[in-house]
Structure 1
Amino acid sequence: MNEFFRKILKREDPSVYQVKDAHLNRTLRVKDFLALGVGTIVSTSIFTLPGVVAAQHTGPAVALSFLLAAVVAALVSFAYAEMSSAMPFAGSAYSWINVVFGEVFGWVAGWALLAEYFIAVAFVASGFSANLRGLVSPLGVELPKALSNTLGTDGGVIDIVAAVVILLTACLLAYGMSAAARIENILVVIKVFAVLLFIVVGLTVIDLSNYVPFIPEHKVTETGDFGGWQGIYAGVSMIFLAYIGFDSIAANSAEAINPQKTMPRGILGSLAIAVILFVAVSLVLVGMFTYSAYADNSEPVGWALRQSGFGIVAAIVQAISVIGMFTALIGMMLAGSRLLYSFGRDGLLPSWLGKLNSKGLPNRALIILTIIAVIIGSMFPFAFLAQLISAGTLVAFMFVSIGIFGLRPREGKDIPMPAFKMPFYPVMPIITFISVVLVFWGLSVEAKLYTLIWFIIGLLLYICYGVRHSKKRNNEKSL
């Protein structure tokens, strides 16, 4: 038994990952990571969550929830920046925690992120579908309910649009990083233009009375806490998923040029841009119409513009936003496939997932990610997916924030000295960890329950398969 625990707690030698990931082509620059981060963060969420959260939890104070969530995300991003600068490995938190705390903890962090990527891809695809259908509905183009709604929702069987867009994105990524990065950069610029267009046009029809009272009186509704600081807190937990895109940057750090400088600039820069855009959109949206008008509305931005008489602008913004959602799918599917590749690389999942094709791409992992995301995205409701993304991500963020304590003593020794360090060590990592725990605690009971079930499945899989097939232990036996 002691030998068993010694093995699962054994920390990976960072030089092993440097060798294993050496065959991944380093082609990504700061501009590519900024585009990847902004494209992933400023995605479905900015066009959907402000209205949904305002109606369910915060009222006009939705901007405060976005700001508070941004503060927590910023704290985590500092830890991510240091980790990715010191250890630019594929798999992000999974590989880092494997190095600083040991394999079993790395598996738990990676398993949490795997839930994030599976569900996030499905979530973005679901938002893409809702916005595309909202865009074409004025033209009289409507799909049957069986093909436009998820299983069991209003007569739905499968969201066919969500399934198709995931497949199309996978086909693009299968061709390689360079082509995906070029398309990502172009689409991000176009998407930011759409966000700015909405803000400028929306400001012309703001009704200041819609902001009063800014923080409604607290009450408990069918959707949980509404109003007061309780509602704002509930909004933070739901909104946090909007900021998780910087993890997708870290997951691709093994393909970064000069990662010591590229990674911190990409992570911190993309988050700063995203925060400004999210707060501005949320303030404009609740100023255009009373927050209750956005209840059960999965495309509030387009709806608000159409109701305000800006049908052409709505069509332009929604058309660009729909196209721009490809950027989020690119980012999430890139990161998710790299994580699956990392599990296969280390033998914790079938080793064929860790195989690369002739172009040095983990397309086997991409195929598995695509299949699972299609099933989830086309069959599970949009609101259900939102909180589950946050749950898995927050667990991984807990590990990364506390992981700074395992990383810092080894920097300049067996781990290179990073170009960026988390400020105010050791106080900030502790504050970050507590903040993430508080956000996690604010999730719904269902989200926490499903997260618990996911981790039980993950631990059983690790004990039954990963422990026996781990390449780390197999390499030890061969010595």
Structure 2
Amino acid sequence: MSPSLVMVIFEVIAAASAGTAPTAFVLATGAILLTALSYAKMARHHPASGSAYVYARKQIGSPIGFLVGWSILLDYLFLPMVAWLVQSVYLNAQFPAVPVWAWMLINAGLTTLINIFGVVLSDRVNRVLTGLAVFLVLLFAAYCLVYLGHHQPTSYTAPVWNAHTSLDGVSTAAAVAAYSYLGFDAVTTLSEETLDAERTIPRAVVLVIAIGGVLFAVVAYLMQLVHAGGVFGDPQVAGYTMPIQVGGVFFADWTNLAGIVGGFASGLAVQLGSSRLLFVMGRDGVLPKRFFGALNARTGTPVRCLLVTGAMCVVGLGLSVETATSFINFGALLGFTVVNVCVIAYFVRNRRTRRVGVLGYVVLPALGACVTVYLLTRLSAVALAIGACWLVCGFVCLLWLTRGFRRPTPEFRPADTHADPNPATEPSAA
């Protein structure tokens, strides 16, 4: 979730929504927030680093947990590669003398090295880069306000709803905008490295969506005032031409830097989360334990898992951005759906012994599941086919690990100590 993402995809959302991009972002924020609330509940009950993999294993069963973990591997393994690829395309556009493949190797190498040295260093670097990216986006917003002071907009309400707006168009645009939030669940993969994880992680998950949603909607509103409607001369470069319009070429080059800086921060964060999922699955014995389930004694990080995710950049060397992003959403959205189902399963299993509300544990997660299933249906046929094949391979691996379900699914028992430390003092949820 790069802060500058709204500037990159604004023209797509504006065109699909007939000039009501901020409304589409607000709708997308509300839709994804339903799933974020489900992640927050599960993170409080199971503060372990495996995220959806652990939640499904605990609430639905180990075999389902394995398949969920396997499916989100499709997302987590390739998402760093996609982040580096997008980053490299931007850098190549800014510095064409260096080819895309060289930028890929540089980006993957730098982020892997930073993550190997430990989560503290990763956190510090990420804070600086994200802060810089946010600053540049806010600077762009300030330039938009100055521009609007000299060029009166035709309407202040048209960006919210206008004569060309339709519910179908806004919902279609919101479905596209919702993909901007994919990756927020990586917060939960750091549960075992977070102080007071039962309180901190749930708050962080919700705040990530809420803060990102407000930023996206406000900036989209200002951009929609500067450029009314959803018709663009060249939609692919509107994210660059609009900064030129409000601040000149020199300023546009600096706002383009926001995308580059934000992209590097995103790659750093997503690799951090990906390596933690591989580590937990290795610790459980689902993946080769000696290789994936070990932490480096000096840095306390899963170095081998980081090297594996770093090596995935090689896969992206021959791919376009469109191809690379076409299949990673399958694993993410399937994981989102299952986490919503896990909350309902928690209600069914604990409704007689613990204080769990129907609204928070049944109605909202059911709505969240409907949203994520709808987003799944919006994926391309290629993405669905690749996702289905990946799941079939996972099922075959599960059959082999369990010897045809004659043996239990591998599981790391000591991790159970993280679950529900204070079952008698559950807060009521709504």
TM-score by length of 1: 0.75
Q: Where does residue 280 of structure 2 map in the other structure? A: 342
- Partners of 1:238 and 1:387 within 8 A in 2: no
Q: For residues 52 and 173 of structure 1, what CA distance do their matches in structure 2 show?
A: 33
Q: For residues 177 and 137 of structure 2, what CA distance do their matches in structure 1 show?
A: 18
- 5+ long unaligned stretches in structure 1: 1-40, 149-158, 218-226
Q: For residues 233 and 35 of structure 2, what CA distance do their matches in structure 1 show?
A: 31
Shift of 1:444: 2.9
Q: Tell me how many residue pairs correspond in the alignment.
A: 404
Q: Where does residue 457 of structure 1 map in the other structure? A: 393
Q: Where does residue 428 of structure 2 map in the other structure? A: none
Q: For residues 45 and 384 of structure 1, what CA distance do their matches in structure 2 show?
A: 19
- Partners of 2:286 and 2:411 within 8 A in 1: no
Q: Where does residue 145 of structure 2 map in the other structure? A: 203
- Partners of 2:22 and 2:160 within 8 A in 1: no
What pairs up with 1:212-231 in 2 under 5 angstroms? 228-231=166-169
| 1:454 alignment partner AA | W
Deviation per CA, 1:410-445: give whole Å up to 9, x if none: 66999xx89x98953322222221222122222333
Question: What RMSD, in angstroms, separates the aligned Cα atoms of the two structures?
Answer: 3.3
Q: Where does residue 71 of structure 1 map in the other structure? A: 30
- Partners of 1:116 and 1:392 within 8 A in 2: yes
Q: Where does residue 304 of structure 2 map in the other structure? A: 364
| 2:255 is equivalent to residue 317 of structure 1 | yes
Q: For residues 332 and 475 of structure 1, what CA distance do their matches in structure 2 show?
A: 24
- The alignment partner of 1:60 has SS state of coil
Q: Where does residue 438 of structure 1 map in the other structure? A: 374
| 2:334 is equivalent to residue 395 of structure 1 | yes
Shift of 1:468: 8.1
| 2:43 is equivalent to residue 45 of structure 1 | no
Q: Where does residue 186 of structure 2 map in the other structure? A: 248
TM-score by length of 2: 0.83
Shift of 1:360: 2.3
Shift of 1:212: 8.3
Q: Where does residue 379 of structure 1 map in the other structure? A: 318
What pairs up with 1:409-448 in 2 under 5 angstroms? 424-448=360-384
Q: For residues 10 and 403 of structure 2, what CA distance do their matches in structure 1 show?
A: 43
Of residues 54, 58, 77 in structure 2, which corresponds to 1:118? 77
Q: For residues 319 and 233 of structure 1, what CA distance do their matches in structure 2 show?
A: 31
Deviation per CA, 1:41-62: give whole Å up to 9, x if none: 235633422223434x334223
| 2:1 is equivalent to residue 61 of structure 1 | no
- Partners of 1:94 and 1:106 within 8 A in 2: yes
- Partners of 2:56 and 2:68 within 8 A in 1: yes
Shift of 1:296: 5.9
Q: Percent identity?
A: 22
Shift of 1:368: 0.9
Shift of 1:288: 3.4
Deviation per CA, 1:261-308: give whole Å up to 9, x if none: 1112111112111001111232333443464437562x6433321244
Of residues 145, 160, 166 in structure 1, which corresponds to 2:108? 166
Q: For residues 240 and 49 of structure 1, what CA distance do their matches in structure 2 show?
A: 11
CA distance 1:335–1:474, shift in 2 (3 Å): closer
- 5+ long unaligned stretches in structure 2: 414-430
